Amino acid sequence: MIKTPRILDGIAIATQIKSEVAAEVQALATRGIEPGLAVVLVGEVPASQIYVRSKVKACGELGIFSELIKPLESVTTSEMLALVADLNDRDDIDGILIQLPLPKHVDTKRLLEAVAPDKDVDGFHPVNVGRLQSGQPALAPCTPAGIIEILRRSQLPVAGQNAVVVGRSDIVGKPAAMMLLNSSATVTICHSKTANLAAFTQAADILVAAIGRPGFVTPTMVKPGAILIDVGINRITDADEVERFFPGDADRRATFAKRGSVVVGDIDPAAFAHAGAYTPVPGGVGALTIAMLMQNTVTAAKLRRGISTEKK
């Protein structure tokens, strides 16, 4: 008998995490502590503006102080470095988030490495990368941390499982693989140059797709009963592609007619029928990113003051 795949509801899990963060913020308030997040948004990139508004809104909902700083598009690397140095020195700021992408003339790598590691709520600083690799407490990248939370809170087994991560980015693929390894999974990292990729994905008990290509993982590449974690958020604007990925889906057609696009992940939706459990797109991993940013901000506030971050 074929079991119906379990949908891993990222929105519900994100709501749960935010509720816990709000309680942590209230507990800190009794000690006279208000976690603070500085969000730096350069220029007028529409997508970045939307993301930043969501982050600032979440701070307000959870009682976290936020400060939005908007340098002009013409800002220089030196000016940005001076701004980061000032934020590093401010005691009311526990987390610094620099919204990417930055203008091409700004040295992004140099800037991210200038953020104090204990305020690096994106988890991008080499010091935090090293801490994560060595199993030390660290501010971990938000999306990979969200993946682990989905698996943990859904009570899905990780230890001893074969986990395959398709994608090797510094932001998602590599840290996700490291966090799965730290959770005692046996981990393989694959990428666009992997020969006979299907041989690896077909052996995966946990398959994380983070390669940035719509529907890249097809049904034949999936082990029956596997846990599918789809990190991809790809906007498709071609009607034929919509019909290929969502045949007969009236809701998707209506969305496409209204907006001129629909979102699909890195896993072909047809593959979900073969899964034991999967994260939908939208409503899966993406929903966790801001929640984990809020958690990282509170964690940073505690670590900077020597307060335990152990969950009771």
Q: Is 55 a catalytic residue?
A: yes
Which of the following is catalytic: 94, 99, 120, 266? 99
146 CB contacts (<8 Å, ≥6 apart)? 10, 14, 285, 288, 289, 291, 292
- Give the whole-angstrom CA distance, residue 238 versus residue 256: 9
Distance of CA 231 to the CA centre of its chain: 8
Which of the following is catalytic: 94, 120, 122, 266? 122
Residues identified as active-site: 55, 99, 122
